Amino acid sequence: MKQITVSVEDDLYQRAEARATELDKSLPVIVRELIVGFTTRKGDFGDLKRLEEDTVAKIRERGIRFSASDRLSRAELHDRNALR
């Protein structure tokens, strides 16, 4: 079995360790599961895409519509005086 050394910022490590504790798992077990998933899915983001499609469908069912024309122009976006 090979060992992997990964360096992360202290706050990221603390958050990851706390989350692993919430899941009643050790951090090495979590990392191992992530690597197994990463190597077996082969870039399959189907679940994420289905989740996104379901979310969009739910928003549309509620009658909420979005349009590009509703967005701010680039100039309006960067106009800091308009925010005051």
pLDDT level of residue 10 (50, 70, 90 thresholds): very high
Task: Output the pTM of the full model.
Answer: 0.47
Question: Rounded to whole angstroms, how far apart are CA atoms 24 and 22?
Answer: 5
pLDDT value of position 26: 92
Whether 78 and 72 have beta carbons less than 8 Å apart is answered as no
pLDDT tens sequence across 16-68: 999 999 989 999 999 998 888 777 765 566 666 777 777 777 777 777 776 76
